[in-house]
Amino acid sequence: MPVYLWTVPMFHCNGWCLPWGVAAQGGTNVCLRRVIPKDIFDSIALHKVTHMGGAPTVLNMIVNSPVSDRRPLPSKVEVMTGGSPPPPPILRKMEELGFGVSHLYGLTETYGPGTICTWKPEWDSLPPDERYKLKARQGVQHLGLEEVDIKDPVTMKSVAADGKTMGEVMFRGNTVMSGYLKDEKATEEAFRGGWFRSGDLAVKHPDGYIEMKDRLKDIIISGGENISTVEVETVLYNHPAILEAAVVARPDNHWGQTPCAFVKLKEGFDVDAQEILKFCRDHLPHYMAPKTVIFEDLPRTSTGKIQKFILREKAKALGSLSWGGKL
């Protein structure tokens, strides 16, 4: 029988049905008072946990935990992650520790998970870096939904399944909400065109798998080019000194906006902004690379999501960045 370890609160959509689903199978729900790596490893060992869930921030805590906090896993632990796109480097490190990670995607309005990145056997033979990039995709819809599509938000036409053309992720089906309580205007806007509009920008690959690129409100437009903050953050997470990273737009009088990176370093590392900027320019087109780096702890919600609206306000308060060179 499954033994499921909880690392997120049960007060939102994640707790509406999953605890009862585990119980209905004769399984056990294990709860944590403190979501810290030592307690996670101790609980897995004590209760012989088979499954768990956690946002990418929880996975990041696990892979960067001190060796003294870790314990050998009694068996492979299957992990469901979602809430934000998991950086491929974190997926790689989780599997090196003995966890199996599945990526889910959805919103509270779609009863949490609406898609899953179902693994294909032929992907097993790919090089590791390619496998983890594939695993970070949002995948395909689950059985409870009628349809998930990527559409042009203006014309409502489906975008080409070429892995390049961006559109908005839209849902319809039995697990999509009926509307927002006592807010007809918000409900009408959310369902304009007959589909629930997620506010997420994504592409669809030729195999039908979707890959989120950014939130509509998070996309950075610099010199007329769209910059995915998710792609920039993925590069930052590949830097050996960076523990956490988030990218937002900073206003710029010339370019309109430029990427501003907020980062937290791993304990014992000491790098400056110029080193991080160079690392990004070496791994990204120059127009996508951050122009500003700020070192600080990242603000989070109770479920571990980074509060980007706070970071956007901080970047806005910095004002325009003078930039005399070419992007």
Better-scored residue on pLDDT, 191 or 57: 191
The pLDDT-based confidence of 325 (bands split at 50, 70, 90) is very low
- Alpha carbon distance 56, 136 (integer Å): 11
pLDDT of residue 131: 92
Is residue 14 predicted with pLDDT exceeding 80? no
Domains delineated in the chain:
3-136 (3.40.50.980), 145-215 (2.30.38.10), 220-318 (3.30.300.30)
Query: Are the C-beta atoms of residues 47 and 28 closer than 8 Å to each other?
Result: yes
Categorize the per-residue pLDDT at 20 as very low, low, confident or very high, splitting at 50, 70 and 90: confident
Per-residue H/E/C for the chain? CCEEECCCCCCCHHHCCHHHHHHHCCCEEECCCCCCHHHHHHHHHHHCCCEEECCHHHHHHHHCCCHHHCCCCCCCEEEEECCCCCCHHHHHHHHHCCEEEEEEEEEHHHCEEEEECCCCHHHHHCCHHHHHHHHCCCEEECCCEEEEEEECCCCCCECCCCCCCCEEEEEEECCCCCCCCCCHHHHHHHCCCCCEEEEEEEEECCCCCEEEEEECCCCEEECCEEECHHHHHHHHHCCCCEEEEEEEEEEECCCEEEEEEEEEECCCCCCCHHHHHHHHHHHCCCCCCCCEEEECCCCECCCCCECHHHHHHHHHHHCCCCCCCCC
The per-residue pLDDT for 322 is 58
The pTM score is 0.83
Lowest-confidence pick of 15-24, 34-43, 221-230, 291-300: 15-24
Residues 6+ apart with CB under 8 A from 254: 320, 323
